Amino acid sequence: MPYLNDPYLEALAHKIIRKLQNMTDKEFERLAFWYISEVTKSR
Domain residues for 20? 7-41
Give residue-wise pLDDT tens across range 19-42: 999 999 999 999 999 999 999 987
- Per-residue pLDDT for 9 more than 60? yes
Q: Is residue 1 in some structural domain?
A: no
Q: Is 0.95 surpassed by the pTM of this model?
A: no
Q: Is residue 18 part of a domain?
A: yes
Backbone dihedral angles phi then psi of residue 24, each to the nearest 5 degrees: -75, 165
Number of domains in the chain: 1
When pLDDT is cut at 50, 70 and 90, the band that residue 4 belongs to is low
Residue 16 banded pLDDT, cuts 50, 70, 90? very high
Whether 2 is covered by a domain: the verdict is no
Taking a C-beta distance cutoff of 8 angstroms, is the pair 12, 25 a contact?
A: no
At 3 the pLDDT is 63
